[in-house]
Amino acid sequence: MKAGFSCTVRPFLTNAFSTVLSSPKVLFHGRRKEVREICPPFLLLTYCPNKALMTQIGLIRETKIPADNRVALIPSQCKWLRKNFPSLKIFAQPSDRRCFSDKEYRMAGVELTEDMSNCDFLFGIKEVAIDQLIPEKKYLFFSHTRKMQPYNQALFRAILDKKITLIDYECMEHEDGQRILGFGFFAGVVGAHNGIMAFGKRSGQYALPRVYQQPSFRQLIHSYFGLRLPNIKVVITGSGRVAHGLLEIMNLLGIIEVEPDEYLSRNFSYPVFTQLKGNALYAHKINGSYRREDFHRNPEQYDCIFKPFLKTTDILLNGIFWDTRMPRLFEWEDLQSADFKIQTIADVTDDKNGSIPCNIGEAVMEDPVYGVDKMTRQKTAPYLPGSVDLMAYGNLPNELPRDASRYFGEQLIKYVLEDLFKKGSPVIERATMVRQGEITEPFGYLKEYGMEFFN
């Protein structure tokens, strides 16, 4: 047998996000599940060592501002990898921004060093500063360039110039197109909490703590014990990982799910929510139908049918994918209507001027909510009469960085590392945007984007 990885998955938990807590007991949707204390708990790997084939990986320091505190692999996962793979060596650049300390990595057997030049693969989370890019290296991080984002054009050009290989986490997908890696679930968890918290501040009827002040997801759950919410009505949009995180908080808070038609027609003596997926949000302009594949190919041929919910909703938790060809959930003119009842919007997907027109700019983690005057369309302080409150900023998972990083690392080990170290697989090929400074065929549309960058 050649040196390398072999993988046996022993599934005993069907929900991916049910492993986010490391304790042997996990509270999940009101039920307790036994979780074996193995890191990661659902993966058994074997390795046939060959000392001649040493793979070296590096965990690079995050340099993007505002600072990101998440990591690709947490110390306990590094320790587990070192124990199970004798031919794998792990390095990390020192950092005082990570959610895990340098000391924790050192105790896990990770060598701390500024010099990453000997590493075969370099792992980060957010975009790497141009002056920190090492020529001819293999990088894995979220580059935010696949949609030709203007603010990262210079970074993309530098990756080409330095003959780097870029493997983008965002492009790692299963054969059916489902993304493998991401922090969407935790974005949904934090976004839902912040949305419910903001409504409490506006109404004065209850109070919730800030997520980032809790040491873990478990402690956040403890803060919900004994909380009694008023008879609010909440709409959740979307069906992906973000929506799963939103739903988790609804269940933990004891908010009852009802069907959309019942939500629209009834008043309740307890808090309720309804979830709106694609077929409840969009209808074809001609025949009134909804077909998911056709909608994503031709979104301009569809109308949004969300308007009835504007009249009956207190809190909107938005978790839908959106691009500029898609209809918005509502328009500015709708905010000025006397029928517009929504008081708090958590735009978890955070598209400025996107599906939520009154998302007029990002907030920050320390101050995540701002107001928007319904008549003047200007940003205001939150919780004012005549305004709607917006919770929107891009680093929501940073409020639960240790739990989010643990889950991300588990998925990285389970689905990516074996393929990566085998020197190739369809998953890795599909995620490789640039190979040694050359744009790969699936991303050929980026060639003009990657041309010489001018200020």
Q: Which domains does the chain have, with CATH numbers?
A: 4-164+401-446 (3.40.50.720), 184-399 (3.40.50.720)
pLDDT at 453: 52
pLDDT at 239: 92
pLDDT at 452: 64
Task: Give the phi and the psi of residue 444 in degrees, each rounded to 5.
Answer: -60, -25
pLDDT at 8: 39
CA count, 13 A, side-chain hemisphere, 357: 15
pLDDT at 324: 85
pLDDT block averages, 10 residues each, the chain of length 455: 41 38 39 38 43 82 90 98 93 96 98 97 97 97 93 96 97 89 96 98 97 95 96 96 97 98 97 97 96 94 97 97 91 95 95 91 90 96 97 93 97 92 86 97 94 58
How many other C-beta atoms are found inside a 10 Å radius of the C-beta of residue 444? 9
pTM of the model as a whole: 0.85
